[in-house]
Amino acid sequence: MTTLTDPAKESFKLSMLIYDTRYRSMTIQIFVLITFIIFVFWLVNNTIDNLTDLGKPVEFRFLTEAASYDINQRLIDYNSRDSHLRASFVGLLNTIVIAFLGCIAATVLGVMIGIARLSKNWIVAKIMMVYVEVFRNVPVLLWIVLAMAIMIESLPTPKAFRGENAMASMYLSDSVAFTNRGIYIPEPLFSNPIGDVSLFGAASLRFDVSLDLIVIMMLLGAGVFVSRRIKKWADAVQNDTGVRPTTWFMRLAVIIIPTVILLWILGFHLGYPELKGFNFKGGTYLRNSLIALWLALSFYTAAFIAEIVRGGILAISKGQSEAASSLGLRPNRIMSLVILPQALRVIIPPLISNFLNLTKNSSLAIAVGYMDITGTLGGITLNQTGRELECILMLMLVYLAISLSISTVMNWYNNSVKLVER
């Protein structure tokens, strides 16, 4: 009788790391990783040694020194005696504001233009096509400068609003003024405020946030949550009976009525801008650099988003819209309920890239004098202190953190709407 035995296991040899296919790929990867780490260590160490020899050791104590420059547009209190760190923080907030506003405006505008490009109306489709081709084929810096030039040259000066024979007038019951210096809009005020809360303990990063605003946002969030629950209830009723109950007034009521009551309790009113002397006082002041940058980035990015939306819609089979039409749905309902929800799975991944590009393009704000993080930390602070390496490294980390945050949020949303396979 023949007995079959397993072959003896081969003992491990160092040569197997190179010649054995089971270990070769891992060996190469480890070698490349070690080589890269050594190169980075040598580069950083060599840079630090050279800067030390030049009398400029790598350190960040300069952030505590007085900035000695003003920032024209800011969300928190700041003066020239504050530190470079606080100036950089003010610039960071300005960058976040322009990125947030730009992403929202570009998305809304891009979706509308992308849908309009597929319109059966020949004129509308061609106008949208011209818009897309013009905006996306001209550098965004030129659009920023052009928007700034239009605001400066076409809008009146504040003194044009003075006197009985004023050459310019305010809008919306004398509450909004468009000038070549910027736009003045009403400011929300409260007669019975709850107070403020300070965020971040460090003096350089500390800023006050209104508790009134926090309570209002929480109440709005609760209203939206209840509204979504009402919608789910209506969906369940429709699935069971085939008849959808009318709930739009209920959904609006749970959001609007509690908010209005809270505003009344807090004594909400508006502070209007008034012309005093050579300029407007009161209200909220939006500088022309902020408006120009926001509009230019939004219109430019919207051209790319429009093409993404158009491609996403075309990726959906025509049978989907035909089936929805056979059920009696109107074209606008077909687009909002059937086509766009499915197209989102195609639209969102490239949409993330455009959000990141808009955020990085906001660094061109220095061209129109808008003081963002590039203009503060990467501009005046760098030139005053001579700390090129430290400022550039911090600037890179800031943009990296913002970009990763946007990617994380959008990827989470993408995972929530993607198809779940059975």
Residue 96 or residue 412, greater confidence:
96
- What backbone phi and psi angles, to 5 degrees, belong to 240? -80, -40
- What backbone phi and psi angles, to 5 degrees, belong to 185? -125, 165
pLDDT of residue 7: 60
pLDDT of residue 302: 96
Q: CATH number, domain at 90?
A: 1.10.3720.10
Which range is least confidently modeled, 4-8, 58-62, 305-309? 4-8
pLDDT of residue 140: 94
Q: Does 368 reside within a domain?
A: yes
Q: Does 164 reside within a domain?
A: yes
Q: Do 329 and 387 belong to one domain?
A: yes
pLDDT mean over 188-195:
88
**Residue 183's beta-bridge partner residues?**
178, 286
Q: Do 256 and 280 belong to one domain?
A: no
Q: Do 399 and 276 belong to one domain?
A: yes
pLDDT mean over 301-305:
95
Q: Do 111 and 88 belong to one domain?
A: yes
pLDDT of residue 126: 94
Query: Is the predicted pLDDT of residue 420 greater than 70, yes or no?
Result: no
pLDDT (tens digit, 9 = 90+) per residue, 273-295?
A: 988 878 888 888 999 999 999 99
Q: How distant, in Å, are the alpha carbons of 59, 85, 206, 384 from that of 63?
A: 9, 5, 15, 11
pLDDT of residue 173: 83
Query: Is the predicted pLDDT of residue 2 greater than 80, yes or no?
Result: no
Q: Do 291 and 226 belong to one domain?
A: no
Is residue 377 within 8 Å of 394, Cβ to Cβ? yes
What pTM, to 2 d.p., does this model score? 0.83
Tell me the pLDDT of the chain averaged across its residues: 86
Distance CA 351, CA 355 (A): 6
Q: Give the domain extent around 41.
A: 24-58
Q: Do 197 and 139 belong to one domain?
A: no
pLDDT of residue 9: 63
Pick from 224, 255, 270: which residue ends a domain? 270
Query: Tokens standing for 203?
Result: 């003096």
Residue 57 or residue 254, greater confidence:
254
Confidence category of residue 421, pLDDT binned at 50, 70, 90: very low
pLDDT of residue 414: 77
Greatest mean pLDDT among 140-149, 154-163, 199-208, 279-288: 140-149
Query: Is the predicted pLDDT of residue 327 greater than 90, yes or no?
Result: no
Q: Do 164 and 309 belong to one domain?
A: yes
Q: Do 285 and 154 belong to one domain?
A: yes
